[in-house]
Amino acid sequence: MRKQLRGGVVLVAALSLALAACGRSGGGADAPGIDDDSVKLGAFTPLSGAGAVTSSATRGSEAYFKYLNAEKGGVRFADGKTRKIQYTVYDSQNSPAVALQQTRKLVEQDKVFALYGTNGTTSNLAVRDYANQQKVPQLFLVGGAGAFGADHQKYPWTMPWQLDYVSQGKAMGQYLAKTKPNARIGVLYQNDDYGKDYLKGFKEGLGAKAAQIVKEASYELTDATVNRQVSILKDAGADALADFSIDKFTTQTIKQAASLGWHPLHLLGSSGTAVVPASGDLGKGIVSTAYLKVTTDPALANDPAVAEYRRIIGKYAAAGVKVDDQGVVYGVAAAMTLQHVLEQTKEPTRDGLMTAAKNIQGLTVPLLLDGIKVQTSPDDYFPIQQSVMREFDGRTWELKGGIIDASAG
């Protein structure tokens, strides 16, 4: 009888070990990529081709992690262990198919604990099914599509970071409704999910005043110019322009409006603002949303957070990284948010990481504009929903008014 009992104990122990081993690949105990001394994170970003310019966010995060490892010994988790961050980054070539291949490599070969800062809207959409099937956190991805936060019930392991396009559009609509209540509104938008997200939020922000939209004009990425669309909006009698264009199309819009002698209140989505400074006086009066500090802003010359940012990038960033690139600022600010999440992670598991990510309570990140907080909950996967409007004066951007909260109203 005693021998039979011992045999049963051995069998139960063996089964327990087998079940524990199965759990190591999921979100529970003993997840891969983390031990008492280090945590492995992974990302893809366009390092080659036309999209490589967007990799500056990744380079910013990379520099911040090097700073944490060198000067802080890593990040102290809530379990009392201080772990150094190992950050592996692969080239997505700006291709969703390649991004998926690189993600599989990170998860199945490199055994990362979590994905962090994976870069590119279409690429992130392509990998989120796989990441969620594998129960691998896809945290603070770089991409502004509203779907990343809105689809959290279907994709609970995926969370964005930035102010999404719907929230930006909503803030712009609220601002216009308040500052020019009788506006005749023309809308220029890119005919894809990017432009339609902005348009959706803009109409929500306008509320009943959406009826004052006199004309909408869309363009395709394959179009040579938007000159025709700008002319159509002017001829419709619009005295306010909601402009959800990017890159060359934004430049064309600014120049075409000037050539037509058309001077509407020009609201521009933040994704298009990179080309505005080069427009000089032609861009004077353009209004956009902001949530990050601009390191070249004279008003922030003595800001301690900006000074520390400059020191970190100067010491730890890879060669060629430009300290005043707002993409780099973005990457450092997002990495600061991840640092907080790791510090709040009580159990060194993927479940534990996501629990911390879903419970960020009014976090102040030094590189966000004063008063803007990072906030999440199990039912709210939009970490940043606040912004401040800013106006271009022909040389730099000046903040206008207070904080607009897209989560309210």
Which among 138, 116, 150 is positioned nearest to 379, based on CA atoms? 150
Contact in structure between 150 and 141 (CB atoms under 8 Å)? no
Structure tokens at 95: 């291709």
Contact in structure between 316 and 70 (CB atoms under 8 Å)? yes
* Fold for the domain defined by 38-163+301-378: Rossmann fold (3.40.50)
* Cα dihedral 254, 256, 262, 267 sign: negative
Helix (H, G, I), strand (E, B) or coil at 36: coil
**Domain residue extents for the chain:** 38-163+301-378, 166-290+391-405
Which among 205, 122, 195 is positioned nearest to 165, based on CA atoms? 195
Contact in structure between 352 and 129 (CB atoms under 8 Å)? no
pLDDT score for 326: 92
* Cα dihedral 97, 99, 105, 108 sign: negative
Write the DSSP string, 378-390. Answer: TTB--S--EEEEE
Counted residue by residue, the chain has a size of 409
Q: What is the pLDDT of residues 205-230, one digit of tens each?
A: 999 999 999 999 999 999 999 999 99
pLDDT score for 25: 44
Dist CA 212 CA 232 (whole Å): 16
Q: What is the pLDDT of residues 81-125, one digit of tens each?
A: 999 999 999 999 999 999 999 999 999 999 999 999 999 999 999
Query: Does the predicted model carry a pTM greater than 0.85?
Result: yes
Helix (H, G, I), strand (E, B) or coil at 153: coil
Give pLDDT < 70 ranges for the chain: 1-30, 408-409
Structure tokens at 129: 């099914």
pLDDT score for 52: 85
Dihedrals φ, ψ of 253, to 5°? -60, -45
Question: Taking the CA atoms of the chain, what radius of gyration do you get in angstroms?
Answer: 24
Two domains, one topology: 38-163+301-378 and 166-290+391-405: yes
Structure tokens at 306: 């900006």
pLDDT score for 7: 40
Q: Where are the beta strands (DSSP E) in 191-264?
A: 213-219, 240-244
Q: What is the pLDDT of residues 116-136, one digit of tens each?
A: 999 999 999 999 999 999 999
Those residues whose C-beta lies under 8 Å from the C-beta of residue 15, and which sit 6 or more positions away, are none
> C-alpha angle with apex 324: 323 to 328, nearest 5 degrees?
65
Dist CA 131 CA 331 (whole Å): 21
Query: What's the one-letter identity of residue 279?
Result: S
Superfamily of domain 166-290+391-405: Response regulator (3.40.50.2300)
Contact in structure between 61 and 69 (CB atoms under 8 Å)? no
pLDDT score for 53: 82
pLDDT score for 407: 85
Buried-exposed string 141-168: b where 16+ CB fall within 10 A, e elsewhere: bbbbbbbbbebbeebbbbbbbbbbbbbb
In 3-state terms the chain splits into helix, strand, coil percentages (rounded to 5) of 45, 20, 35
Dist CA 150 CA 198 (whole Å): 15
pLDDT score for 28: 54
pLDDT score for 311: 98
Dihedrals φ, ψ of 192, to 5°? -155, -175
Those residues whose C-beta lies under 8 Å from the C-beta of residue 179, and which sit 6 or more positions away, are 265
